[in-house]
Every structure is written in C-alpha cells, then in structure tokens.
Chains A and B, each alone.
Chain A
Amino acid sequence: MRLLSVLITICCLTQSWALHSSEAGIVDWHKPLVGVPLYSTLSTAPAFHRISEADGRTHSVVLTATASNVLAALDPVDGTIAWRHIFEANEHVIAYKQHGNVVATVSGSGGATLRLLDATTGHLLVERCFHKLEAGRLFEPETLGTALAFDNEENGDTYVLSNAHILRRTNAKTGEVVWGWSAPDQASLVAYSRLIATSSTVYVVGLAKSFTSYTLHVSAVSAKTGEFITSIDVPSSITNGLTDFFVLASNKHPQVKPRIMWLEGGAIKSFPLTPELKETPMMIKGAEYHKIVDVGLSEHGQFVAIKEDGAGRVIRLGEDGVKVIWEFAESATSKQYTESIYSGGLDKDGWPYIARVYWSHISKKASAHILAAHLADGKGLVTGFTLPFQTSDHGVITHVAVDIANPEEFKVLARLFLTTSTGAVQLWQQNELQWSREEGLAEIKVAELVELPEKQVVTAHAGEDEPVGERLVRQLSDARDFPQYALNFARRFVTGSYASVSSSVAPSANASEPLARDEFGFRKVIIAVTARSKIYGIDSANGEVLWSRVFGLGWAAEVGGHIIPVKIFVTRTVNDGGAPEVVLVTQRKASNSLVDTVIFHVNPLTGEDVRDPTSPRDGLLQGLDVIAGPLVETYMLQLGPSNVVVLLDEFVQVHLYPNTDEIRDAFVKALPSIYLPLRTGPPKHRQLTGHQISPKPEFTGKHVAQPTWTLSLPPSEDILAIIPRPREPIASLGKVLGNRTTLYKYLNPHLSAVVAGSSVSCSLYLIDSAKGTVLYHVVLPSTDGACDIKVVLAENWLVYQYYDGDMGGVDQAKGYRIVSVELYEGSGVDDKTRSSDLSSLSNKSTAITTFEETFVLPRAISTIVSTATTHGITMKDIIVASENHQIQSFPRRFLDPRRPKRKPTNEELEEWLIQYDPILPDDPKRVLSHTYQVVGTKHIVTSPALLESTSLVFAYGQDLFFTRVAPSNTFDVLSEDFNKAQLVLTIAGLALAIVIAKPIVRRKRLREKWYDQ
C-alpha cells in the first residue's frame, strides 16, 4: 500500500503537463511589439538608417526609441523587428544616434549610461556608466541636458554630453573614457544641451538664464585632449529654450564652419563656430519667422523655418553662407489642410531631402511633398503624392520619417514611416501602404476575454408547401456531399482525427463565416483597450485584430483631451442569450483640465456601438457621459438576470448603468448585501473606509454611500492596493485529509487583501470588507523604500511575493520569497461555519485557521495570477511573468502550505503531500512562453475554456502572449499520446484470431467427443 502511494506520487509529479515542441506556435501565439515611438524630440524619434555591408550592398532599418523604453530596429521591407534592446524601467532611454554599423544610446536621468549596439544585430558592444542613476539631474523634458555625437574623422569615438555640463569622449572599441571635461559652474549657470564635433574641436552649446529669456553660451573643447579652449556668451535672447536653437553643419562641405542657428524676436540669427569663438552673430533678412524646425538634417546643413503666416521655408548652410533656398507652395496656414509636418531624409549617396506631409480636409487624404534641393541643377525639385491614410482607424499622423531613393535624375521615390496618434506605425512607399504595426497594443490598460457563440448550423428552407420537384432538387443537392461525408466519417473512425486539444483553433484562411467558438471553447475574443484612445477586438486563436474602434471625445473634441480606461466589464455573455456585450468605464481628461466619467458600450464580436447600432462602423465610437466628474469606484453587480455597472462619483453618489426602473428597483432590493470598501483621505495618507448605500435616495435622486467602518492603519501607512476575492465557481467546500477529517475552506465572499506601505515597511492585510475585521496581517520588508508586493487571492488561498534583502534574519539569505497561505473555517478540522453563506454580522465569520509556508522563488517577477476554470474542479496553478521575459507556471502541489517538514506519513502521502523544500523547482518545462521572449508583461488575464481542465492565459503589457494551460493535465479528453491505430489494429488482430481459431477449436472438440472416451 505504501509503495503504491509512493508510486502514485512520483507518477503525478513527473507526469506534469508540458508542451510538446510540435504544439509551440499552435496552441499559443506571441506578438512581439516595440512600443509607440517617442516622436516628441529628434533624439528619440524614428529615423531611417542605412547600413553598408562588407560586400558594398546596403540595407536599411528604421530606428526608434519607444514609450515602452525600448530601442528598436524595424525592417522597412516587411515591418518585422530586426532587433530590440530593452531598458530597465528606472532607466529611460534618452537619446540614440547612429553612425555606420553602430548605434549609440544614452539612458538614465541626466544621461547616466552609454551603450553602443551593433546596428544589424542589436548586440551590446560597449556599456559604460558615467554616473549613478540617482546622481542624474532631473530635467523637464528628460532628454534635455544630454547629447550624443560621433567623431567623423577617426575611429568613430563617441562624444557624450551628460548632466548638462559634463562632456566625455569614449573609445568606440573599449568604451574607456578618453577624456572628460566638466563645466566649472556645474550647470548652475549654463545648462548645455547641444553638441557638435569637428575634427579639431568639440563645441557645446547651452543656455544661460537671463532676466526674461535665455542667452546662448558656447564652449570650445579640444577634440584630441579635452583641453578647454575658450567659452563666450553669444549676445542673444531666446524664448523657447527647447526648440528655438540648434547647431547647423554641412558635412558635404567640411570647410564650411558650423553655425548656431536661433530664433530671436521673429528673426533667424546665426553664429559661426571657430575654435577661438571670435565671430559675430549674423541675421538672415527677408521675413518674419514664427519658429524654426530641426528636421534631422542639421548635420547636412538644412532646416525649415516657419514664417508668420505658417508657410515653410527651407534654409541651407552652404559655401555661400546661410540662405533661403525654397518655400513650399501653399503651405501657409489654411482651413483646408492641417499644419504641415516637416521631416528630413537622405538618399543612398547622403544627399538631403525634406518632406512636407499634411492632411487635407477637402480630399480627406494625406499629401506628401518631397523637396530635393540639389536636383535640377541645384534649383530644387519637388515631387508630390497623396496617401490614402485611414484616419478613422489610426487617428492623425503625428510624426513622419522619410527615406529617399533617387534612381534617375528627375525621379525621387520616397518611403514614409508614419507614427499615428493611436499608436500605429506604418510604412508607405509613395502612395502604397507596405505594412502597418499596431504598436498601441504595447500600451493595453485593460483587457477581458469574451466567449464566442456556437457555430450556427444553417438549416433554413422554404417552408411547408414546397413543390415536390423543388424539394427533390433541394434534397438531392443537399445529398451531393454525402459520399464525401461518408468517406470522412470512415477515415475519422479509423485514424481517430477528432478535434484535438493541441490543435490550432484559428479559422481557415479563406473562411468568411461569422465568429464562432471551437469544440472546447479555446477560441475567444480578447477585448483590449489602450491608453491611446483605441479599443481592439483580438482573435484569441491567432492574435489577429478582428476589429478596432477609435474613441470619440464627445464635447471635449473641440478642446482636445484623452481617455484613460479604468475597467471593463462583460455585462452579457453568450450564455445569457443574444449577442454578448461589454461596458468600458473610462475617465476623460479634457485639455481644459475637466474630468468626466464616460462609458462605452460595445458588442465584442463586431465592435458595434450597442447604444446606437445605427452609427457607422468606420466612424468614431462615442461614449456616454455618466458622471460629470471623476470616478471613485466602479464594479459590476449581478441583479437577477442582468448585470449592472455601479459607479460612485467623488461625492460617493451611486450611478447605475444601464439605468432603468426595473434595475433601480432590483438595486434597492439588493442594497442590504452591498458593502463597499473605499479608499478615503488625502493621497499618501489614504485610509480604508467601509461603506453601505443608503436605502432611500437623497434629494438629488441618487443613493449615497455612507461610511460604516474605518480600518485604522498606522498613520504612516498608505493604502497601495485592494485585491478582492474574485467571484469564481468553487467545486468543493472542503479538503478531506488523509485521516478522513475535513478542513472546510474559508470562503467569505467579502474577503479582500489590502496592501499598505510606509517608507520603512509594508503590510498585507486580509480583511472582511463587510465589517472591516482584520483576519490576517503580516509585515513585510520594503525594498529601497518602496513596497513591491505581488498578491493573488483565489478561493481560500492567498499567495504573495516580496523581496527579502535582510541579512539579519534567521535564515540570512537574500532573495525573492513567495508565501502561500490557506484559510480554513473555525478552529481546526471538522469545524464548519458555512463561511460562504454566513451573514457577515455573525461572530463566527471571522473564526479562521491559517496554514502558511514560505518558499524561495528563483527570480524576480512582475505579476502573479492564478488559473481559472469553468467549474473550479481543476487544481489552481500560479502563473508569473518573470524578469527574464518568461511566463512560467508553478504548480499548486509545490506551493501547498501543508507540506510536511519531515518524511511524509502514509496519511500525508494519500493527500499527495510531498516533503517541504524551501526552493521551488525552476523547471523549464513549465515555462509556458518557451522560446518566446515575452517582454514587459504587466498583467496576465486567465479565463476558463469550455473544457474544465483547461485555462486560457493572456499576458499583456508590451508583448502579447496567449496560451492555454491544463494544471491537472487534460483529464477530460483522450490523451494526445493515445494511439488509436494501435487499438484498432489490436482489436482487428484479435477478431481475426477468433475467426481463425473458432473452427479449429470446434473441430477439435468434435474429435475429442468421438475418440477420447
């Protein structure tokens, strides 16, 4: 018996669910994303970069730093990611610059770290830290005070300006600092922000604050030795210190001295840079200018100046000085088109081009004009085309990067890389869209999985009184497919090719049938809402975007604003009959600082507006302003057959959506059982207050929540998170132990976990949110003054993770800890209080027994979640996103807090308990994301499939990853390893043996009867 149980245990532990290599990419998918390009400053904005290979050929990449803190290279041919370099969350990428086969990048506040990357592969060549992250100066914007330049003459050494006053030259091969120069005033007077290197001298240009404006200040430093040559104040007065000055150089004419260009009182002035800095400022005459735009060609001697009337002029630095060479026709401000975006690009030979892109309100198309200043014998040539840009899908164009090919004298071909306001990036070759990437999906804020309806079998025919002839024809045509069906049936019967749990559920390529679920309910639609005003419906079978809608701003459209998604609720599923519905609760921040709470109500299958089904699908999705003010709390309440979204405004008044008479009546009836824990008080000192809703509406016609209890936390502690127990089906109310006693699970529906923290320590509470009783409390160490505790609460099981950096403890080991806590009713075994149905006013509702155990987690994690299944019969696994870009699962069996610390007894073996081991096994077979690098996961959503054994997992944050897991193996379907052919063959063989043996035996019997007696 004992041996048997040991055997069973071993079998169960070794035969865990894991992926076969053939299933990778079939049962799961991964969409690597780079994030939305940071286009606001030139040093991080997308740009084409041409790389020469050893054999003389060239290929291009689109380089960009992104809002997801990634430096990425995209292949312009097909839009795939050539490489991406991921920066740590506390170290923002500030600037990048390309030179030959090297991309230099500076990150961290003040320009803390320089990295050199291989432009083709993205491999890290050199990493050099200049100062600690906390020693970096904080500028607004962050990119200010940092600049990068390459030494063109020699071996490509890098000049880095950091912290607005330190200039360093670093060796391109080793990363060693060749020399460093620090401004004597430590940036207290002059903040340097621009840098230009010539073969002999490096110039740093900065601004000194004067009475009402800024004054230019230049320092010249020897490029060879780092010796300070001289510095002067250039007499100037600049109002916008961010954009109104830059340094212009012309690398086609190395003898031409670089110049500082700036805008001063509507005039463009320039100051030639010589090592002695003895020149005098000059002014470009001719017009009043509104602003000057560095289009990324400052090293190629061109920029754009915008006149007072909005018209764009191209100004060039040549051998003959700084001159206006072109004015774009019809570029003055007009109601017929939007403000133009100017962008510079280069061709293969390094000639500069300037593109002007604008949106025409009349033709509803985007137009691009490309100026080639050197063509047509230097007179300049403009070519143009229009782009059928889908503004209803992608918002407006916010940035353009351009790459030019000039195959013939008068032929200019452009490739445009567009960044849009919804976060899409697109590559257009002339007027044709080559590819489009939805990088906005890297900023999903809320996501939910919605079940699909069953496939509809079409059986409609014309009715009763159908003529015989027609009917015969119809039936014959129906029967036409019968032979094929019969053949299929026979084949299926023999080979056993039924629907398999490890097959793809993606629809076939040419299928145009409506969305329908598969046999096992693996296919769902993922509703994802990004921070960039867009909602997507994503097919969970393959990650394709089924539909997407852009949010309308309502009244705020006139002043501008943005929409922050708060929560998403599935108010109707297919099981409730009819089309499913989701309600999205958002806050709209208008540019005039007014905040409203807006609800969007959509059909998750089509993206149709449920409130107004007649509205065009390609228009903006308009919401309903439910609260004219900010939102405090929102949740979904089930009232009889329908689900209602309950919203509380800042005066804790209750708003209902949908708001009909029946729902209001049902809500009043349900009021006594509603308890709301709310965060109250000023920020940093927030306390938890329980609320109940008054049964009678106030004079405003709204119900108001009234405080019933307050959780008195220490005054230094601030509430960081409230995690309510999820509403999920529970299959068993207790756990039967080996000695036939039962531990009853503590299933209080009002259980919530509360994370609170001060600068010195963190606290985790489990509270009964109906009356504010603390059921469980633990104090955890904080790491560097921050509380980084990940908590998951499922059924009666609490799991939390923290970092223990304390060397003074008993175990004296630093590391990540994961604690598993199980809550049971009463004072021990067989003590039943019926906690799931018990009134929260009963004293017994707080009687609990806890079991807890700590384990060592192999590495840092960014989020933690438990699996979810339809009926809750399947064991729950813990799924985490770890720091090395993996999604990993940890089985419940290892996290059982009742694991004995000695050899398990027979009774414990019957419960399949294994001996306690502090280290959780780090099994690569349990890495759900296997070879995929799932970068930047912030949230994981789990959702049940129709199959009880299987849970669907969707991870988002930056990359999207979807898979399915079976924590207790797929016990409800035949194993994939089951060999049906073998079974059929064996049965056939046995049948054959019977057929052969039967007459022989009969004959033998007969003979025995005749001869033997």
Chain B
Amino acid sequence: MRIPLGLLALASLLLSCCYPVLALDLKGRIRWNEVCPGIGDLGQAKVVLDNGKLRGGVTRDGSFVIPDVPAGTYVLSVAAHDHVFDQLRVDVFETETLPEVRPYIPGTPLSPAAVVTLPYPIVLAPRQRNDYFVPRQSFNLLAMFQNPMMLLMLGMGGLVVAMPYLMKNMDPAMLQDFQKRQARIGSLQSSLQSGDLSGGLSALMDTGEEEKPAPKQTTPAGIKHRSGKGKKR
C-alpha cells in the first residue's frame, strides 16, 4: 500500500500542456555508402545535439528524428562506434518552421557562421571507417631497397666496384691529381684514427708544399691494381 498515485507533479503537467508550440522535430537521414552499407555495420548509433541532452537514434533505414528542439544554435554530431561523421551547425528559429543547417569544423568559433547552407532534412554520410590497428612491419626485400638509406648504400657499393674501371679510363694527368687528393685524405684519416690529430692536420697542410712524397705514398695502391690486372692477363 505505498503507491503515491497522487504524486502527480503539477509543474510537469503544465509544461507538457503548453510546450509544443516552440519546439521543432529535427529530421534527417544517414545516407548509406560503401564506407557503411547499412545499420548492421553501423550498430546502435545516435545523433546528438551539443552535449547529448537532445538526441535521436538511427533507425534501420538510416533516418533519425531529434524531438522537441527549442530555438537556438546547436552542434550536431553522430556518436557511432566505428564510423566518422561530419559535424554540423544547426540553427533552430522561433518563427520559422525550417532550421538552417551549415557545415561545422570542430574547434572553430561558431560565429561567424559558414556561408554555405546545407539542405534540410539533414543528410549525413559516413566519412570513414575507423582503422584501429597498425600493420605489422615484416621483413620485405622490396621495401628495404626502397629505403633512401639503403639506396645510398647501394650507390656507394656500386661506386666502390666501379672505381677501378673508372680510374683506368681516366686521363693519366687527372688520375695523378686525383690520387694526390686521395692520398691527402687517406693520410688525414689514418692520422685521425691513430689519434695524432696535429700530425694529420700538418700532413694536410704540408701536402700543398711537398708534392714529391705524396705520389710515392700513393703509388703502391695504383701499382697494385695495375699489377694485379696485369698478372691475371
């Protein structure tokens, strides 16, 4: 015996009586596309205004109705688990029977409103399907060789192989010049490796004046190549 049947809120009664004049049922439709071909793909989804107090569910044919929307400016968004939708700005007026619908980019100020208006009833299309996973990086020969570092390395390798042939075809004068430069760098490197920085630097400095010993240093390498080749023949 504890049913307060008489607990009938007078205020809510009054509200229910005199409300329907100002409010509007906002209607729209989700256009199924290849991203989302139907309700089975979309699952239970809702279309919400602002913080979700005004909302409508998406039915099997894609339509939705947000009932009793009072006049004001709203941001309309779709809460779906796997799909991304655009947000819209909806203006509902007290005097007009049709709302104005505009595109809205999240995070931007609502005013000034976008110039473009969209047709009403609202048509929303799923933009994309969420992809939650990253592909596993597997060992791929082609991808490896597409890597710029790998390409550089290949080029270097190619040069190393091709160098003797290039040198052989070079003009002797140029070759000597080249070998000189090579030797200088080589000596710098070797002195750097042995930790004798000043020695290396002085070698670099000195080479400009003492041209004579430099070719002597480099000759073995040159001769080696040629002799090697000569022997083979």
Chain A interface residues (CB < 8 Å from chain B): 18-22, 24, 85-86, 88, 115, 118, 121-127, 129, 131-132, 134-140, 144, 163, 186-188, 191, 207, 209, 214, 239-242, 783-784, 803, 805, 807, 811-816, 856, 858-860, 883-886, 918-919, 924-925, 927, 930-931, 933, 976-977, 979, 981-982, 1008, 1011-1012
Contacts of B81 in A (CB 8 A): 884-886, 933
* Bound form: Cα–Cα A121–B42 in Å: 13
Contacts of B39 in A (CB 8 A): 123-124
Majority-rule SS of A interface residues: loop
Comparing B55-63, B160-168, B183-191, B207-215, the segment that makes contact with chain A is B55-63
Give me 14 other A-B pairs in contact (C-beta within 8 A), A24-B133, A859-B77 excluded: A19-B133, A20-B133, A22-B136, A86-B44, A122-B44, A123-B60, A124-B60, A127-B65, A140-B7, A209-B5, A813-B110, A815-B107, A924-B132, A925-B132
CB-based contact A883/B79 at 8 Å: yes
Known: A124-B57, A858-B106. A187 touches B8 (CB 8 A): yes
* Bound form: Cα–Cα A754–B1 in Å: 43
Q: Can you sample 14 A-B contacts with CB below 8 Å? A: A21-B135, A85-B44, A129-B65, A134-B12, A135-B15, A187-B8, A188-B8, A811-B109, A856-B107, A859-B77, A925-B134, A927-B130, A977-B136, A1008-B224
Known: A135-B16, A924-B131, A925-B132. A127 touches B56 (CB 8 A): yes
Contacts of B110 in A (CB 8 A): 807, 812-814
Contacts of B231 in A (CB 8 A): 1011
Say whether B204 faces chain A, with CB atoms less than 8 Å apart: no
CB-based contact B79/A927 at 8 Å: no
Which of A138, A242, A919, A930 contacts B133, CB < 8 Å? Answer: A930
CB-based contact A919/B106 at 8 Å: yes
Instruction: Give the distance to chain A from B58, nearest Cβ to Cβ, in Å.
Output: 7
CB-based contact A930/B79 at 8 Å: no
Closest to A122 in B: B44
* Bound form: Cα–Cα A797–B1 in Å: 54
CB-based contact B106/A815 at 8 Å: yes
CB-based contact B6/A209 at 8 Å: yes
Contacts of B142 in A (CB 8 A): none
CB-based contact A123/B134 at 8 Å: no
The 0/1 profile, CB within 8 Å of A marked 1, for residues 80-94 of chain B is: 111000000000000
Q: Which chain B residues in 45-85 approach chain A with CB under 8 Å?
A: 50-53, 55-60, 64-65, 67-68, 73-75, 77, 79-82
Known: A124-B58, A187-B8. A813 touches B109 (CB 8 A): yes
CB-based contact B82/A925 at 8 Å: no
CB-based contact A125/B59 at 8 Å: yes
Which of A129, A784, A860, A977 contacts B68, CB < 8 Å? Answer: A129
**Ranked 8 nearest A-B pairs via Cβ:** A930-B132, A924-B130, A135-B16, A129-B67, A21-B133, A919-B107, A18-B134, A977-B137
Instruction: Give the distance to chain B from A927, nearest Cβ to Cβ, in Å.
Output: 5
Contacts of A214 in B (CB 8 A): 5
Contacts of A127 in B (CB 8 A): 56-57, 59, 64-65
The 0/1 profile, CB within 8 Å of A marked 1, for residues 1-15 of chain B is: 111111111001101
Which of B8, B82, B107 contacts A137, CB < 8 Å? Answer: B8
Majority-rule SS of B interface residues: loop
Which of A239, A813, A919, A931 contacts B132, CB < 8 Å? Answer: A931
Known: A124-B60, A129-B68, A924-B131. A138 touches B106 (CB 8 A): no
Say whether B95 faces chain A, with CB atoms less than 8 Å apart: no
Contacts of A931 in B (CB 8 A): 82, 132
* Bound form: Cα–Cα A21–B82 in Å: 15
CB-based contact A138/B9 at 8 Å: yes
Which of B1, B7, B75, B137 contacts A814, CB < 8 Å? Answer: B75
Number of interface residues of B (CB under 8 A): 60
Contacts of A860 in B (CB 8 A): 51-52
B3, B53, B130, B224 — most chain A CB neighbours (10 Å)? B3
CB-based contact A242/B3 at 8 Å: yes
Say whether B157 faces chain A, with CB atoms less than 8 Å apart: no
* Bound form: Cα–Cα A309–B94 in Å: 65
Contacts of A918 in B (CB 8 A): 107
Known: A123-B60, A883-B79, A884-B79. A131 touches B107 (CB 8 A): no
Closest to A927 in B: B132
Closest to A859 in B: B79
Instruction: Give the distance to chain B from A192, nearest Cβ to Cβ, in Å.
Output: 11
Contacts of B134 in A (CB 8 A): 18-20, 925
Contacts of B75 in A (CB 8 A): 814-815
Which of B50, B80, B109 contacts A812, CB < 8 Å? Answer: B109
Contacts of B58 in A (CB 8 A): 124
Say whether B194 faces chain A, with CB atoms less than 8 Å apart: no
CB-based contact B12/A135 at 8 Å: yes
Instruction: Give the distance to chain A from B109, nearest Cβ to Cβ, in Å.
Output: 5
* Bound form: Cα–Cα A813–B57 in Å: 25
* Bound form: Cα–Cα A816–B51 in Å: 8
Contacts of B130 in A (CB 8 A): 924, 927
B132, B136, B138, B223 — most chain A CB neighbours (10 Å)? B132
Contacts of A884 in B (CB 8 A): 79-81
Contacts of B107 in A (CB 8 A): 813, 815, 856, 918-919
Known: A129-B67, A924-B131. A805 touches B51 (CB 8 A): yes
CB-based contact A132/B16 at 8 Å: yes
Contacts of A927 in B (CB 8 A): 130, 132
CB-based contact B133/A18 at 8 Å: yes
Contacts of A122 in B (CB 8 A): 44
Instruction: Give the distance to chain A from B191, nearest Cβ to Cβ, in Å.
Output: 25
Contacts of B5 in A (CB 8 A): 139, 144, 191, 207, 209, 214, 241
Contacts of B135 in A (CB 8 A): 20-21
Say whether B146 faces chain A, with CB atoms less than 8 Å apart: no
Contacts of A811 in B (CB 8 A): 109
Contacts of B172 in A (CB 8 A): none
Contacts of B59 in A (CB 8 A): 123-127
Contacts of B77 in A (CB 8 A): 859
Say whether B37 faces chain A, with CB atoms less than 8 Å apart: no
* Bound form: Cα–Cα A19–B135 in Å: 9
Closest to B2 in A: A140
Closest to B83 in A: A884
* Bound form: Cα–Cα A885–B19 in Å: 33
Closest to B73 in A: A807
Instruction: Give the distance to chain A from B28, nearest Cβ to Cβ, in Å.
Output: 13
Closest to A981 in B: B139
Say whether B198 faces chain A, with CB atoms less than 8 Å apart: no
Instruction: Give the distance to chain B from A28, nearest Cβ to Cβ, in Å.
Output: 11
A135, A214, A977, A982 — most chain B CB neighbours (10 Å)? A135
Instruction: Give the distance to chain B from A847, nearest Cβ to Cβ, in Å.
Output: 35
Contacts of A924 in B (CB 8 A): 130-132
Say whether B202 faces chain A, with CB atoms less than 8 Å apart: no
CB-based contact B51/A1012 at 8 Å: no
Contacts of A858 in B (CB 8 A): 106
* Bound form: Cα–Cα A856–B109 in Å: 12
Which of B13, B19, B52 contacts A186, CB < 8 Å? Answer: B13
* Bound form: Cα–Cα A901–B14 in Å: 52
CB-based contact B55/A144 at 8 Å: no
CB-based contact A812/B111 at 8 Å: yes
Contacts of A126 in B (CB 8 A): 59
CB-based contact B12/A136 at 8 Å: yes
CB-based contact B16/A125 at 8 Å: no
Say whether B193 faces chain A, with CB atoms less than 8 Å apart: no
Contacts of A883 in B (CB 8 A): 52, 79
Q: Which chain B residues in 132-184 approach chain A with CB under 8 Å?
A: 132-139
Contacts of A859 in B (CB 8 A): 77, 79
Contacts of A135 in B (CB 8 A): 12, 15-16, 19
* Bound form: Cα–Cα A126–B61 in Å: 9
CB-based contact A131/B16 at 8 Å: yes
Closest to A17 in B: B134
* Bound form: Cα–Cα A241–B6 in Å: 12
* Bound form: Cα–Cα A435–B15 in Å: 49
Closest to A926 in B: B132
Closest to A110 in B: B12
